[in-house]
Amino acid sequence: MTLTDARPAASRDSDDQVVETDLRPSLRQQVARLDQERAAYVVLLGATALLYLWGLGASGYANSFYSAAAQAGSESWKAFFFGASDAAGSITVDKPPLSIWPMALSVRVFGLSSWSILVPQALMGIGTVALLHATVRRVTGSGWAGIVAGATLAATPVAVLMFRFNNPDALLVLLMAAAAYAVVRALESPRALRWMVLGGAFVGLAFLTKTLQAFLVLPALAATYAIFAAVPWRTRVLHLLAAFGSMVVAGGWWVAIVQLWPASSRPYIGGSQTNDFLELTFGYNGFGRLTGDEAGSVGGGNGWGSTGLLRLFGSDNGGQVAWLIPAALILGAGAVWCGSRMVRALATLLLGWLVVTALTFSLMAGIYHAYYTVALAPAVAGLVGLGGWALWQRRDSLVAAGLLGLATATTTGFGFALLDRTPDFAPWLRYVVATVGFAAALMIVGARHLPARVASVVAVAALLAGLGGPAAYALETAATPHTGSIPTAGPSTSGGSGAGFGGQAGGPGTATTGGVGGLLDGSTSTDAVTSLLLSDADSYTWVAATVGANSAAGYQLASEESVMPIGGFNGSDPSPTLAQFQELVADGQIHFFISGGGGLGGGRGGPGGSASTSDIEAWVAATYTAQTVDGVTLYDLSGA
């Protein structure tokens, strides 16, 4: 019997009642806090869904290059597997096919439409926000830290752009975020091996989405586990090797099948000059992006913006993602300084992700587009939520408060400068951001002297000032239809380079005259042209052929019949050769040739590319009679 039990019953009941009464307010507060966090999480996902889905159909088929491949995959499982541009399987897109598969399945189930193409991308965006929230919340134990990270990601202009568009980057970012989550789980789980294998598989699938770009996150993932794993060093090495093996399997199975499949019975590998996926991976889509030596491409160098350490802060890139990069670096360093083991681990992972990817994008000399920076968005947003929370817990420290104030002031000043680049867009906003942001920065430094509620208001004001600029750009991005191959987020800026052209466009509408499109923009078919292509369509493998995949895409999407993209995306791939094309025509497999396609140099091949497209154009013009329908020049290849 304990001393408590020895007390008189009346005394025991009285004291126990006091203890129970003392506990109730604390429990009620915890439950109320959890309810608030859950409600905020629901609001976050609901607002993200609204932002990513509202008016989505205004962009039409967005990037018709990938939309045509999705349409082809919905008609043919063989085209689906290889990622062919047309259902007849003449040539593939210049990427692995994983990002096309969700769209193709959606089209197969729901039919061909803008929504069936674009909704999968929006769902990937919502999933990425949820994953980042879960990662930060698990490490910090704070739902609010996860909310801040998720909201920052959701409101990043380039994230809004790419999660409402059908380039491969949406799936790439989702898989990279999933890999980071898996590694974080491995750091604290007794089933670390399973989580590491899963993380490696996510990276492998990311490779099947956008080849070597997926590996930019690998150094951060591997280093984080090597440093912070709670298992012996030998076990860490074995786990990393197992993760590497799962990555190879997840990313290599499709490559192995393609490499072993007889080339004569599969589509040509678009983007390569030798019909070889490994050449595409390590050349045009790989090291060529770093060096600028990309055979058959549009070329690198200054045509895609000046390289250098400040590239991401220039006029082409700054408004896309750079608003919070300085704050992310400051807050991330603060989290490493003052955080727990798990906080330091996640901060190390996100900092490595951010630094490696940012340096690669800044210094690469090959083809580069500003929308690539969406790969930075989860790292930046995660560091803002994680580092802001870690330093706020230590705000009684002058160093922590100073870092918070520095991050707020830096973000405010940079936000003002970025907004000043678009003076006609919400001209009042930059002054509001500056006033609120700098005031909040000063007060945060002295937060330890403020009452708790006042300090919380100051923190919210600092957050709103930091997100004011990117959120406004994000709303503008969501309200603007985007088509073509190189979309850009936010309002137009002056002084941009060629890296940003061709991004924003009006709604698709209905054209009164046709157009063959160009290298970066899809073609536009008319009722008369589409009707001509559909005439006796069942008698032909391809209802038409034209130079360049974007030129073919619009006609294919309008007719939902195969249109051969001669030369692939750039019109510079040797597919088909003149002899192969002549044989197909002789066999009666191609009905029309549409002249004026959008290949490089009118189909004469890019640097080091094939000139077979120009040979085909010349042969058709010399052999067949031209006819013009709604401004489009066609040749009927079924006649003499």
* Average confidence (pLDDT) over 277-287: 90
Q: How many other β-carbons are positioned within 10 Å of the β-carbon of residue 400?
A: 21
HSE at residue 201, side-chain half, CA atoms within 13 A, is: 7
pLDDT of residue 459: 94
- Residue 475 above 50 pLDDT? yes
**Dist CA 85 CA 568 (whole Å):** 8
Task: Render pLDDT for 187-206 as a digit per residue (tens, 0 to 9).
Answer: 998 999 999 999 999 999 99
Maximum alpha-carbon separation in the chain: 114
pLDDT of residue 22: 53
Strand partners, 594: 546, 634
* Average confidence (pLDDT) over 153-164: 98
If 0-12 CB within 10 Å is exposed, 13-18 middle and 19+ buried, where does residue 46 land? exposed
Task: Render pLDDT for 520-541 as a digit per residue (tens, 0 to 9).
Answer: 888 999 999 999 999 999 999 9
Per cent of the chain over pLDDT 70 is 89
- Torsion (CA) 178, 181, 186, 187 in degrees, nearest 10: 150
pLDDT of residue 25: 61
**Rounded mean pLDDT of the chain?**
90
Task: Render pLDDT for 379-419 as a digit per residue (tens, 0 to 9).
Answer: 999 999 999 999 999 999 999 999 999 999 999 999 999 99
Report the residue count for the chain. 640
Confidence of residue 270 (pLDDT cuts 50, 70, 90): very high
- Residue 606 above 90 pLDDT? no
Closest listed residue to residue 530, CA positions, set 568, 563, 484: 563
Give the residue extent of every domain in the chain. Answer: 113-479, 527-636
* Average confidence (pLDDT) over 70-94: 97
Task: Render pLDDT for 622-640 as a digit per residue (tens, 0 to 9).
Answer: 999 999 999 999 999 997 6
Place of tokens 């294919």: 556
pLDDT of residue 246: 98
Closest listed residue to residue 338, CA positions, set 384, 380, 391: 391
Per cent of the chain over pLDDT 90 is 79
* Rg (alpha carbons) of the chain, rounded to whole number: 28
Task: Render pLDDT for 536-563 as a digit per residue (tens, 0 to 9).
Answer: 999 999 999 999 999 999 999 999 999 9
Sequence-distant (6+) residues with CB within 8 A of 365 are 290, 291, 292, 300, 301, 307
If 0-12 CB within 10 Å is exposed, 13-18 middle and 19+ buried, where does residue 264 land? exposed
Q: Which of 23-37, 270-284, 346-360 has the lowest mean pLDDT?
A: 23-37
Here the tokens at position 338 are 């003052």
Task: Render pLDDT for 46-69 as a digit per residue (tens, 0 to 9).
Answer: 999 999 999 999 999 999 999 999
**Dist CA 515 CA 492 (whole Å):** 25
pLDDT of residue 288: 84
Closest listed residue to residue 88, CA positions, set 113, 71, 109, 107: 71
What element of type H or E holds 210? Answer: helix 192-210
- Residue 4 above 60 pLDDT? no
